[in-house]
Amino acid sequence: MIYQTEETRDAIISKARELFIEKGFFETQMSDLARETGLSRTSIYRYFKDKADLALIILELIYNELYTEDYARDLEASGLSPVEKVRKYFRDVWLNPDKMSNYQFIAEFDAYYTGSRLPEGFRESLRAIFMENNPEMADLLLRIIRKGIESGDFSSDLDPYLTVITLVNSVRGMHQRVLLREDVLVETDAAQAAQMVELQLDWLLKAISA
């Protein structure tokens, strides 16, 4: 009989997250995790079928930490204009200097799981994490955009949902490229690269404003 405990499972997740952030997601192998936890690889595979299985759990933990329900409520009641609420949302949730290690993991995760590396059922797993398990976060930006259209702050011809996913993917895509390339972006230097995301956010907000 194979025994599993919640304590061991949590310890594996905690150490894996630490390794993925410190060593890098690409470089960390299950053998590294076995060595650091003092468990055999066979024991780890009793809890997680592969690296993707473990990474998805960590991704969900990180995603759920990006902000709390209190944050969503406070932002919506802040008295800021819809444009400034959107700007604050991105700065707090996706561009927060205090969360850079989490963004680095997400960027490496996204870069790794492409093409032939995509596990079976990967899209469904991501959808559960980003859309179903935390609907409050998925809906916050959508509510702000809709209210901004109603108030006249945002253009009336916007499709709210398409606007949200375009904003999120645009800002995150640029930010991830800067994170992964850091000071080896051939087009610019590190100081200018850090300004690129803010500049992009400014342009996007101007583009959707009335």
Q: What is the pLDDT of residues 85-129, one digit of tens each?
A: 999 999 999 999 999 999 999 998 888 888 778 878 878 877 777
Phi/psi for 114 (5° steps) reads -135, 160
Instruction: Strands of 46-196 (E only): list them.
Output: none
Strand partners for 209:
154
The pLDDT value given to residue 192: 79
pLDDT tens-place string over residues 173-198 = 999 888 887 666 667 776 777 788 89
* Per-residue confidence (pLDDT) for residue 208, from 0 to 100: 97
Q: How far apart are CA 205 and CA 81, in angstroms?
A: 12
pLDDT in tens, 152-176: 999 999 999 999 999 999 999 999 8
Of the candidates 89, 59, 63, 64, the one whose C-alpha atom is nearest the C-alpha of residue 74 is: 89
pLDDT of 43 above 80: yes
* Residue 136 pLDDT grade (very low, low, confident, very high; cuts 50, 70, 90): low
pLDDT exceeds cutoff 90 at 65: no
- How confident is the prediction for the chain on average, in pLDDT? 87
